[in-house]
């Protein structure tokens, strides 16, 4: 499967409007944003766990990162409530699930081959970002491996300008903003190629945004092995 695979183009997906697609695990559904591959893929998705659902234990040879959007995500390492950001490096594995149900944004098989750091940020954890016009609060979740991952709160009606030298990927967590004549709402996902500067205007209620400034696919991304068993988290 190829979905939004052209990284040289601006890509916008209003994920909240998409149908949920079943995964191989009962009770786990997904909305696909980016995909290169079949069941085992280099992919970005929003994944929903029904209460009591889970995947069997599986490995992530290419690594994964995820942001908990609602509910509580669980695996052998702990419970992760909404707002948690986790990076599981290449070679890691787990048996993910949720007793009460949850929804996450997850990116699979997009790590640099040398990125072996596991990172756990619980809600509110991270380093404060530099003050910028229109930004009420800024939190750095990860800064390394030629990536910077942030959560920001944009003030109501604020004009936001983000330089984009490498590539930019954003997800609206709450509120919304307009960009290039289009309105982005909760769970809208925007990807901009390097050199496409973000010029946005926050909505009347402001916006809460997760975003990553990084190459859209690292030149030394961890090698893909389609023989691995499936698993979206």
CATH number for the domain harbouring residue 169: 2.60.120.10
Q: What is the predicted pLDDT for the residue at 49?
A: 98
In this structure, are residues 22 and 31 in contact, taking their beta carbons and an 8 Å threshold? no
In this structure, are residues 63 and 87 in contact, taking their beta carbons and an 8 Å threshold? yes
Residue-number span of the structural domain to which 98 is assigned: 2-121
Domain-located, residue 135: yes
pLDDT in tens, 179-208: 999 999 999 999 999 999 999 999 999 999
Domain-located, residue 159: yes
Q: Residues 149, 190: one domain? A: yes
Closest CA to 228 of 73, 97, 42: 42
Domain-located, residue 231: no
Mean pLDDT of 80-90: 96
Residue 174: which pLDDT band, with cuts at 50, 70 and 90?
Answer: very high
Q: Residues 116, 135: one domain? A: no
In this structure, are residues 49 and 40 in contact, taking their beta carbons and an 8 Å threshold? no
Q: Residues 104, 157: one domain? A: no
Domain-located, residue 83: yes
Which two structure tokens, joined as six digits, stand for 143?
Answer: 């800064």
Domain-located, residue 229: no
The set of long-range contacts for 125-130, using a CB threshold of 8 Å and a minimum separation of 24, is 126/151
Domain-ending residue, one of 71, 95, 121: 121
Residue 225: which pLDDT band, with cuts at 50, 70 and 90?
Answer: low
Contacts of 17 (CB under 8 A, 6+ apart): none
Domain-located, residue 221: no
Domain-located, residue 24: yes
Decide if pLDDT at 229 tops 50.
Answer: no
Residue 232: which pLDDT band, with cuts at 50, 70 and 90?
Answer: low
- Our count of domains for the chain comes to 2
Residue of 41 and 84 predicted with greater confidence:
84
Domain-ending residue, one of 97, 121, 145: 121
Q: Residues 88, 197: one domain? A: no
pTM, full prediction: 0.94
Residue 61: which pLDDT band, with cuts at 50, 70 and 90?
Answer: confident
Q: What is the predicted pLDDT for the residue at 231?
A: 54
Using alpha carbons, list the distances in angstroms from residue 179 to 136, 188, 200.
19, 12, 5
Domain-located, residue 62: yes
Q: Residues 50, 132: one domain? A: no
Domain-ending residue, one of 121, 153, 170: 121
Q: Residues 8, 95: one domain? A: yes
């Amino acid at each position: 499967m190829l979905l939004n695979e052209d990284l040289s183009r601006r890509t916008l997906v209003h994920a909240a409007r998409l149908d949920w697609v079943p995964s191989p695990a009962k009770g786990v559904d997904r909305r696909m944003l980016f995909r290169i591959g079949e069941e085992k893929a280099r992919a970005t998705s929003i994944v929903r766990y029904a209460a009591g659902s889970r995947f069997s234990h599986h490995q992530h040879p290419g690594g994964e990162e995820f942001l908990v959007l609602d509910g509580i995500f669980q695996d052998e390492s702990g419970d992760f409530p909404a707002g948690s950001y986790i990076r599981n490096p290449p070679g890691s594995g787990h048996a993910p699930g949720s007793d009460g149900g949850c929804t996450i944004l997850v990116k699979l098989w997009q790590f640099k081959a040398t990125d072996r750091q596991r990172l756990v940020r619980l809600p509110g954890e991270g380093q404060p970002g530099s003050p910028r016009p229109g930004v009420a609060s800024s939190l750095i979740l990860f800064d390394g491996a030629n990536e910077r991952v942030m959560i920001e709160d944009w003030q109501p009606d604020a004009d936001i300008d983000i330089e984009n030298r490498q590539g930019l990927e954003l997800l609206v967590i709450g509120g919304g903003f307009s960009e290039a004549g289009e309105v982005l709402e909760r769970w809208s996902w925007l990807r901009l190629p390097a050199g496409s500067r973000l010029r946005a205007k926050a909505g009347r209620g402001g916006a809460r945004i997760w975003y990553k400034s990084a190459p859209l696919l690292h030149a030394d991304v961890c090698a893909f092995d389609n023989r691995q068993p499936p698993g979206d988290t």
